[in-house]
Amino acid sequence: MGNTGPVIATPVIATTSNPIAPSAAPAASTSTTNYMPNLIGALAASVGIVIGSIGPWVSFMAMSKNGISGDGAVTLVLGIVSMIAMFSILSRGGISRIGDRWIGVGAGVICLVISIPNIMNVTSATTEVFDRTIGAQVGWGLWLTALSSAVLCLTGLTVAKQARRK
């Protein structure tokens, strides 16, 4: 009636005939979401460039000069264009079209090339008055533009390398 002998388990050997490998499914989902924090960072950096371009770039005593009256107009336009490109990639779920994934990198590099010489020009402009050295100071808008440009270069490069093309 019943078999009272020892039970011997036989091992099951996996074969390659299975068309779907178990490790293939998670790799596809993680590759599209790995750069999403960088995409959001690039979008935030673009907003920072826009805000910094509007803010004061130079201050001297009680006076200040906004970035829009000089090179800040260029960085403002580039920040807006980059913001639109990064938002469009984000709204499409990380899918890039017509090379829009490289716009952030290009805008970040150009804004950085604009802001670094401006910082150097402002800090080097000093004069002596009654044996005291006075000079203009870099405003928060120029610092924000430079920092946001550097962040946009780094995060935009990650987005450009990892975004899916369609």
Q: What confidence score (pLDDT) does residue 29 get?
A: 45
Taking only the tens place, the pLDDT of each residue in 23-64 is: 444 444 445 557 788 899 999 999 999 999 999 988 877 777
Taking only the tens place, the pLDDT of each residue in 3-31 is: 666 666 666 555 555 555 554 444 444 45
Q: Please name which of 46, 55, 49 lies closest in space to residue 84, comparing C-alpha atoms.
A: 46
Taking only the tens place, the pLDDT of each residue in 127-148 is: 777 777 777 888 899 999 999 9
Q: Quick check: 66 pLDDT over 90? A: no
> What would the mean pLDDT of 100-122 be, rounded to a whole number?
93
User: HSE of 128 in the Cβ direction (CA atoms, 13 Å)?
Assistant: 2
Q: What confidence score (pLDDT) does residue 42 get?
A: 93
Neighbour-count burial of 59, counting CB atoms closer than 10 A to its CB (0-12 exposed, 13-18 middle, 19+ buried)? middle
Could you tell me if 150 and 112 are in contact, meaning their C-beta atoms sit under 8 angstroms apart?
A: yes
